[in-house]
């Protein structure tokens, strides 16, 4: 498409561009409908329990179904009861009318918010003409336990049989705890605050509290343990009650321990707290072994029915021990928890010669199996999980390395028994069942998909099924690798927060999911482990790799924050982390010699040319990472008002760029480093190629892709994301499209040709022992490219949080149509382009209180009839004003760029060809929100 177009541009032609907009009758200028505010969020969460920041921030979506709708003012009201709020008594805070278009992340003043306090809030908004909305429907948030003293209980653990040593390896049993208490008055409201290491489950009066699994989140426990808050008003009662907890091993190295507190408010206004104390008792139960890597062994014969109900006979239970507090700080888990987010049915079942059975779920995922079985007591059913199968059909666990990924269930023999494990998870597509009494069927197992439960917010689809499949695999890979932190893989003996993996996928995370709260927590995780000297390790929490980490890995601290900022507009985040960013950049600056940073662990990890001798110079990658980190630090310093720092970082950037060019650029060949794709793409990406050389470097890059690599990439964890963006931004979307549509090695299509349902760690197919995960998120970063480049939705850093964004699709190759929609923090943003005859239509939706630059690609040169009912808005290189919401336009090379306000628009470019070619671009207006999902 691109070359086609360029060729035409070289021809001498008179460019006659006409843009039309159909004014639908209903769109005639009329009074704008009443505005409203919806989707109220506190700290990115809907009605959260357990907020523990002193100044919670509130966001809403300003809604007005009109062109160019803007909020001109707002009023927030906060009250301590719903009744008060509804009657207009904002007894916590009434901010009054504030003249501002701001609708995102507005902090409440730091006052009056007590531990456990429930606040109801609502907002009123005014539109551009000063017309007010009604107050929104109320939302609420509830404060957590803000002070150390709010925790009145002690940490409990369980002693071993000899009374001294703690539970732990080798048996890894999961201890059960219980305590009974009486409440002598009717309960008005009750909250449970709880956490336990490695994992806990809380029980009250015969039932589990909440639907969280694998809670709490994986943090650096010595620094920060997250607790969860639950509304248990309906689970406690006047009279006798029983509370219980089960503890799993999780990621915790010490003896399992728990702290819990029930805060109860009685109808008469008095209060009581039930806490973990010395009178709690413990016992071992049916979970004989639990390990994230190896699985769980559960002997149902050891169940103690009624253990979590009052009146249970617990004389054989032993007193729990008070444990040393395992952490410096308890803070609330202000992110979506891990849940069983969906269940899937197996597609196939196959009997093996040895009598075992293999289930195929048809999808690689993270989680576990729910087993349905009946048989004699003592029968042991074994479930082995794997991503792959051997040629004989048996599960192939070779690539799990040390992880056994095996659950065992021993029947109690009482009819139909349903079992699912609690304190483990597996990455698998196949499950092999051994010892099953009778003949299993497809209903025997249900796949439970388990990961951090952030809501989906984006969708992408296009006319090429291969790209849709890549998108699907990428999203499966991404979400099944989010287990309270972004992990590298869900199956083998690793599953850690490798920062290189986290930074390459954060952007796609923000496009596809409401992941802001989760990454806010993860950035805190990074801050928790940062050294005094600025160092950041390869993994967070720090388990594997080195410290300081590889500059492309450790730089994730800044890279992820920058992505989050662009998508959310969250300034406080930048303020909170700026000192950390600065310390990190200063450390690199001290370490670099003449502005070249040589320390590097992983190069362009797992690139197809990695094993070759002439690999990308590692110091080239590290120095680029250094530049990128300093560049982000400079931007952040500018944003948060530190001009001196900004200048210092900007100077550093110039020096790094000069040193980099002097060392790695060959002005004779116009190549960087080893002339590989990454060597040339990285400086192009950073914008540090010397003036006048950009084109030649790009030509070399394109030549390497097209000629040397026959249309394929040669990049790994570092280079792939950059390469695809650079090619588009430099005008060679056609080459990027060639890469992404390959079906042979190396490329996404090759994985799919080989049956992949997620994204592999390596570009090549390996099924043996060693490092070859079949569910690694990294190369799924291409999903961001689909949104950003193919559908063209790009949040801007200069007006972040979609206040002003670009819709700039790159139309390339044989792609006929692409669409994406994102429920941004301000509302629905959507782009849908389609080749239409010889031209192109582009339907866009801009949320209210936002604006966009819409780049209409000048594509297609065949003769097409001009339709009559369209309004011309661009002719002879000039913008013709008149259509509401379209405020201006300019010629922007391969695009015509329109500045538009909120609303839905249909642009239509209709070209004409001939000896004298002229384009006619039609813009057709459609009313109403278009759902492009
Ligand atoms: C992990 C990676 C990680 C890498 C560091 C691997 O074992 O699985 O994804 O980034 O180590 O090179």
DSSP 835-891: EETTEEEEEEEE-TT-EEEEEEE----S--PPPTT-BEEEETTEE---STTEEEEEE
Percent of residues, the chain, with pLDDT higher than 90: 84
500 close to ligand 1 (CB < 6 Angstrom): yes
| Cα separation, 740 vs 813, whole angstroms | 11
Separation CA 451–CA 490 (nearest Å): 10
CA atoms of 628 and 581, how far apart (whole Å): 12
624 falls in which pLDDT band (50, 70, 90)? very high
Residue 438 and residue 481 share a domain: no
Q: Which residue has the tokens 């890597």?
A: 293
Q: Tokens in use for 546?
A: 């080195």
The strand pair at 175-183 and 318-319 is best described as unpaired
Closest C-alpha to 464, from 452, 455, 476, 472: 472
Confidence class for position 9, pLDDT limits 50, 70, 90: very low
CA distance 901 to 65: 12
Closest Cα to atom 2 of ligand 1: 488
Which ligand 1 atom sits closest to the C-alpha of 771? Answer: 7
Domain assignment of residue 886, yes or no? yes
Residue with tokens 């919806």, as numbered in its chain: 38
**Dist CA 858 CA 843 (whole Å):** 15
Closest CA to 477 of 757, 275, 837: 757
Pairing status of strand 903-912 against strand 839-846: antiparallel
CATH number at residue 916: 2.60.420.10
Burial class (CB in 10 A: 0-12, 13-18, 19+), 375: middle
Q: Which residues pair with 81 in a beta bridge?
A: none
Same structural domain, 771 and 810: no
For position 421, which CATH number holds? 2.60.120.260
Task: State if residue 602 touches ligand 1 by the CB under 6 angstroms criterion.
Answer: yes
Q: Does residue 45 have a cis peptide bond before it, meaning omega lies within 30 degrees of 0?
A: no
Please compute Rg for the chain using Cα positions. Answer: 30
Which one is predicted more confidently, 455 or 1? 455
Residue whose C-alpha is closest to residue 685's, from 736, 647, 628: 628
Q: Is the model more confident about 611 or about 243?
A: 243
CA–CA separation, 742 vs 712, rounded Å? 7
Q: Is the CB of 486 under 6 A from ligand 1?
A: no
Both 677 and 784 in a single domain? yes
Residues 779 and 651 placed together within one structural domain of the fold:
yes
Same domain, 555 and 702: yes
At residue 6, the pLDDT reads 39
Token duo for residue 245: 């907890």
| Nearest protein CA to atom 8 of ligand 1, as residue | 488
Return the CATH number at 724: 1.50.10.10
Q: Do 523 and 574 belong together in one domain?
A: yes
pLDDT tens digits for 383-436? 999 999 999 999 999 999 999 999 999 999 999 999 999 999 999 999 999 999
Q: How far is the CA of 554 from the centre of ligand 1 (A)?
A: 13
Residue 870's pLDDT band, with cuts at 50, 70 and 90, is low
pLDDT value of residue 711: 98
Which atom belonging to ligand 1 lies closest to the Cα atom of 553? Answer: 10
Q: Same domain, yes or no, for 41 and 166?
A: no
Burial of 594 (0-12, 13-18, 19+ CB in 10 A): exposed
Measured in Å, residue 487 CA sits from the centre of ligand 1 at: 10
The domain boundary residue, chosen from 332, 358, 393: 332
DSSP 805: E
Residue span of the structural domain in which 896 resides = 804-932
Contacts (Cβ under 8 Å, ≥6 apart) of 28: none
Q: Does residue 15 form part of some domain? A: no
> Residue 88 is part of a domain; what is its CATH number?
2.60.40.10
In order, the DSSP letters of 611-642 are TSSSPPPHHHHHHHHHHHHHHHHHHHHHHTT-
Cβ(842) to ligand 1 under 6 A?
Answer: no
pLDDT reported for residue 879: 85
- Is the separation of the CB atoms in 287 and 296 below 8 Å? yes
Report the atom number in ligand 1 closest to the C-alpha of 601: 12
**What token pair was written down for 603?**
């190069």
CA of 645 to the centre of ligand 1 (A): 34
**For 483-526, what is the HEC assignment?**
CCCECCCCCCCCCCCEHHHHHHHHHHHHHHECCHHHHHHHHHHH
Give the residue whose CA is nearest to atom 1 of ligand 1.
488
User: Lowest-confidence range among 8-22, 287-301, 317-331, 797-811?
Assistant: 8-22
Mean pLDDT computed over 84-106: 96
Active centre residues (catalytic): 494, 761
User: Tokens for 928?
Assistant: 């109403």
Atom of ligand 1 nearest to the CA of 489: 8
What band does 30 get if pLDDT is binned at 50, 70 and 90? low
**Does an H or E element contain 373, and which?**
strand 357-373
Dihedral angle at the C-alpha atoms of 863, 868, 872, 877, nearest 10 degrees?
20
Ligand 1 centre to CA of 488 (Å) is 7
Task: Report yes or no on 763 lying in a domain.
Answer: yes
Q: Which residues contact 888 (CB under 8 A, 6 or more apart)?
A: 879, 881, 898, 899
Q: Which atom of ligand 1 is nearest to the CA of 778?
A: 9
Ligand 1: distance of its center to the CA of 714 in Å? 18
The secondary element (H helix, E strand) that includes residue 644 is helix 643-664
Residue 297 domain-assigned (yes or no): yes
Question: Quick check: 918 pLDDT over 50?
Answer: no
Task: State whether the beta carbon of 665 lies less than 6 angstroms from ligand 1.
Answer: no
Together in a domain, 765 and 726? yes
Dump pLDDT digits (tens) for 706-751.
Answer: 999 999 999 999 999 999 999 999 999 999 999 999 999 999 999 9
CA angle (197, 203, 204) in 5-degree steps:
140
Q: Is the pLDDT of residue 640 over 90?
A: yes
Residues 6+ apart with CB under 8 A from 676: 609, 614, 615, 616, 704, 714
pLDDT tens for each residue of 324-339? 999 999 999 999 999 9
pLDDT band at 25 (very low <50, low <70, confident <90, very high): very low
Q: Measuring from atom 4 of ligand 1, which residue has the nearest CA?
A: 498
DSSP reduced 3-state for 367: strand
**Cis omega (within 30 of 0) on the bond before 548?**
yes
Single out the residue of 642, 617, 604, 835 nearest to residue 720, CA to CA. Answer: 604
**Separation between Cα atoms, residue 3 and residue 813, nearest integer Å:** 10
Over residues 13-17, mean pLDDT: 33
- The length of the chain is 933
Residues 317, 346, single domain; the answer is no
Strand ranges for 267-405 from DSSP E? 271-275, 281-284, 287-291, 295-299, 318-319, 321-322, 330-332, 338-344, 348-351, 357-373, 380-386, 388-389, 395-396
Ligand 1 atom closest to the Cα of residue 773 is 8
Residues 290-312: what's their mean pLDDT?
97
Query: Cα(672) to centroid of ligand 1, in Å?
Result: 26
C-alpha of 698 from chain center: 32
Distance in angstroms (rounded) separating the CA atoms of residues 472 and 467:
9
- Ligand 1 centre to CA of 369 (Å) is 27
783 domain residue, yes or no: yes
What's the rounded Cα separation, in Å, for the pair 45 and 912? 50
Write out the two tokens for 649.
């970082």
Q: What are phi and psi of 146, to 5 degrees?
A: -80, -25
Residue 798 domain-assigned? no
Establish whether residue 507 lines the binding site of ligand 1, counting it when its CB lies within 6 angstroms of any ligand atom: no
5 occurs within a structural domain: no
Average pLDDT rounded to a whole number, residues 671-684: 97
In a domain, 799, yes or no: no
Which band of pLDDT confidence, cut at 50, 70 and 90, is reported for residue 84? very high
| Residue 622 contacts residue 552 (beta carbons within 8 Å) | yes
Q: Which of 9-13, 574-578, 828-832 has the lowest mean pLDDT?
A: 9-13
Residues 537 and 664 reside in one and the same domain:
yes
- pLDDT value at position 614? 75
Is it the case that residue 927 has pLDDT exceeding 70?
no
Name the pLDDT band for 615 (thresholds 50, 70, 90): confident
**Cβ of 610 less than 6 Å from ligand 1:** no
Q: Of 23, 5, 162, 318, nearest to 926 (Cα)? A: 23
Determine the pLDDT at residue 247: 96
| Beta strands in 378-500, from DSSP E residues, in sequence order | 380-386, 388-389, 395-396, 406-410, 417-419, 426-434, 445-452, 458-462
Alpha-carbon distance of 358 to 346, in angstroms, equals 10
Tell me how far CA of residue 807 lies from CA of 228, 724, 855, 891, in angstroms: 40, 18, 6, 15
| H helix or E strand, kind and range, residue 5 | helix 2-10
Is the CB of 760 inside a 6 Å radius of any atom of ligand 1? Answer: no
Residue to substitute in 498, 499, 758, 761 for testing ligand 1 pocket (most ligand atoms within 8 angstroms of CB): 498
167, 173, 288, 289 from 170: Cα distances, Å: 9, 9, 10, 9
Q: What is the mean pLDDT of the chain?
A: 91
DSSP bridge partners of 65: none
Coil, strand, or helix at residue 448? strand
Task: Look at residue 919 and tell me whether its pLDDT is greater than 50.
Answer: no
Rounded CA-CA distance 745/161 in Å is: 57
For residue 328, give the 3-state DSSP assignment: coil
Using the predicted structure, report yes or no on whether residue 24 has a pLDDT greater than 80: no
Q: From ligand 1's centre to the CA of 784, what distance in Å?
A: 21
How many domains is the chain built from? Answer: 5
Q: Are 35 and 133 in contact (CB under 8 A)?
A: yes
Same domain, 328 and 391: no
Distances (CA, A) of 539 to 557, 573, 633: 11, 21, 21
Q: Is the CB of 489 under 6 A from ligand 1?
A: yes
- 264 to 184, 261, 322, 742, 784: CA distances (angstroms): 12, 9, 23, 61, 46
pTM here is 0.94
How confident is the model over 40-50, as pLDDT tens digits? 999 999 999 99
Q: Where does a domain end: 100, 121, 142?
A: 142
**Distance from the CA of 451 to the center of ligand 1, in angstroms?**
20
CB 834 within 8 A of CB 816: yes
- Identify the pLDDT of residue 412: 98
Task: Indicate whether 821 and 845 sit together in one domain.
Answer: yes
Q: Which of 791, 826, 847 is the last residue of a domain?
A: 791
Separation in Å, CA 185 to CA 189, 604, 871: 12, 65, 72
Q: Are strands 139-143 and 271-275 parallel, antiparallel or unpaired?
A: unpaired
8 Å CB contact between 234 and 189: no
- In ligand 1, which atom is closest to the CA atom of 602? 12
Quick check: helix, strand or coil at residue 560? Answer: helix
């Amino acid at each position: 498409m691109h070359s086609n177009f360029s060729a035409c541009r070289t021809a001498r032609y008179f460019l006659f561009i006409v843009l039309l907009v159909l004014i639908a009758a209903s769109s005639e200028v009329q009074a704008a409908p009443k505005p409203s505010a919806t989707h109220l969020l506190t700290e990115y969460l809907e009605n959260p329990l357990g907020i523990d920041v002193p100044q919670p921030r509130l966001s809403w979506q300003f809604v007005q179904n009109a062109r160019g709708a803007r909020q001109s003012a707002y009023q927030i009201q906060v009250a301590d009861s719903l009744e008060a709020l509804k009657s207009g008594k904002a007894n916590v805070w009434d901010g009054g009318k504030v003249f501002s278009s701001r609708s995102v992340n507005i902090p409440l003043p730091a006052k009056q918010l007590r531990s456990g306090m429930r606040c109801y809030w609502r907002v009123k908004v005014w539109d551009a003409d000063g017309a007010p909305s009604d107050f929104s429907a109320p939302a609420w948030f509830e404060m957590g336990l803000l002070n150390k003293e709010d925790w009145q209980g002690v940490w409990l653990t369980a002693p071993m049989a000899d009374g001294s040593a703690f539970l732990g390896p080798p048996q890894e049993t999961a201890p059960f705890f219980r305590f009974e208490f009486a409440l002598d008055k009717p309960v008005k409201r009750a909250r449970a605050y709880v956490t336990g290491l490695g994992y806990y489950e809380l029980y009250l009066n015969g039932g589990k509290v909440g639907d969280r699994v694998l809670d709490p989140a994986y943090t650096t426990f010595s620094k920060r343990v997250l607790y969860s808050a639950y509304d248990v008003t309906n689970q406690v009662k006047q009279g006798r009650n029983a509370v219980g907890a089960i503890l799993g091993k999780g990621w915790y190295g010490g003896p399992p321990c728990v702290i819990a507190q029930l805060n109860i408010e009685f109808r008469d206004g008095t209060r009581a707290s039930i806490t973990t104390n010395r009178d709690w008792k413990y016992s071992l139960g049916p979970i004989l072994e639990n390990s994230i890597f190896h699985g769980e062994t559960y002997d149902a014969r050891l169940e103690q029915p009624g253990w979590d109900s009052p009146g249970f006979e617990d004389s054989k239970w032993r007193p729990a021990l008070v444990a040393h507090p395992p952490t410096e700080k308890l803070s609330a888990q202000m992110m979506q928890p891990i849940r069983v987010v969906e269940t899937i049915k197996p597609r196939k079942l196959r009997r093996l010669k040895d009598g075992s059975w293999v289930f195929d779920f048809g999808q690689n995922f993270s989680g576990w199996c729910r087993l349905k079985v009946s048989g004699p007591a003592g029968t042991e059913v074994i479930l082995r999980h794997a991503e792959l199968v051997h040629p004989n059909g048996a599960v192939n666990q070779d690539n799990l390395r040390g992880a056994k990924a095996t659950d065992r269930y021993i029947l109690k023999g009482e009819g139909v028994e349903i079992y699912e494990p609690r304190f483990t998870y597996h990455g698998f597509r196949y499950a092999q069942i051994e010892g099953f009494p009778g003949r299993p069927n497809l209903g025997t197992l249900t796949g439970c998909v388990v990961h951090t439960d952030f809501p989906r917010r984006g969708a992408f689809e296009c006319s090429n099924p291969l790209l849709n499949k890549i998108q699907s695999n990428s999203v499966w890979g991404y979400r099944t690798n989010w287990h309270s932190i972004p992990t590298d893989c869900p199956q083998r003996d690793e599953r850690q927060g490798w920062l290189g993996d986290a930074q390459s996928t954060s952007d796609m995370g923000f496009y596809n999911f409401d992941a802001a709260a989760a990454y806010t927590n993860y950035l805190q995780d990074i801050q928790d482990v940062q050294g005094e000297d600025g160092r950041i390790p390869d993994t967070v929490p720090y388990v594997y790799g080195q410290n300081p980490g590889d500059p492309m890995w450790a730089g994730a601290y800044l890279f992820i924050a920058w992505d989050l900022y662009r998508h959310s507009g969250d300034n406080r985040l930048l303020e909170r982390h700026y000192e950390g960013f600065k310390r990190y950049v200063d450390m690199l600056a001290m370490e670099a010699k003449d502005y070249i940073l040589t320390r590097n662990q992983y190069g362009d990890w797992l690139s197809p040319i990695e094993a070759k001798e002439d690999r990308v110079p590692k110091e080239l990658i590290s120095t680029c990472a250094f530049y990128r980190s300093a560049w982000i630090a400079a931007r952040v310093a500018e944003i948060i008002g530190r001009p001196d720092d900004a200048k210092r970082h900007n100077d550093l950037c110039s020096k790094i760029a000069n040193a980099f060019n002097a060392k790695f650029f060959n002005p004779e060949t116009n190549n960087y480093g080893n002339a590989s794709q990454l060597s040339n793409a990285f400086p192009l990406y950073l914008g540090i190629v010397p003036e006048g050389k950009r084109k030649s470097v790009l030509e070399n890059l394109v030549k390497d892709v097209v000629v040397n690599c026959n249309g394929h990439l040669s990049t790994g964890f570092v280079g792939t994301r950059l390469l695809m963006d650079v090619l588009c931004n430099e005008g060679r979307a056609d080459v990027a499209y060639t890469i992404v549509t390959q079906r042979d090695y190396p490329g996404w299509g090759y994985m799919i040709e080989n049956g992949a349902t997620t994204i592999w760690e390596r570009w090549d197919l390996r099924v043996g022992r060693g490092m070859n995960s079949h569910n690694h998120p990294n190369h799924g970063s291409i999903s961001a490219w689909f949104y950003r480049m193919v559908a063209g939705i790009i949040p801007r850093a200069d007006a972040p949080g979609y206040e002003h964004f670009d819709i700039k699709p790159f139309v390339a190759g044989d792609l006929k149509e692409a669409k994406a929609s994102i429920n941004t923090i301000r509302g629905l943003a959507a782009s849908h382009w389609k080749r239409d005859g010889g031209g192109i239509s582009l339907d866009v939706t801009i949320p209210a209180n936002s604006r966009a630059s819409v780049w209409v690609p000048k594509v297609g040169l065949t003769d097409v009839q001009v339709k009559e009912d369209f309004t011309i808005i661009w002719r002879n290189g000039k913008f013709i004003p008149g259509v509401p919401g379209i405020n201006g336009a300019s010629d922007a090379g391969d695009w015509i760029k329109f500045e538009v306000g909120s609303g839905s628009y249909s642009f239509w470019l209709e070209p004409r060809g001939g000896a004298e070619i002229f384009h006619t671009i039609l813009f057709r207006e459609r009313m109403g929100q278009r759902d492009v999902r």
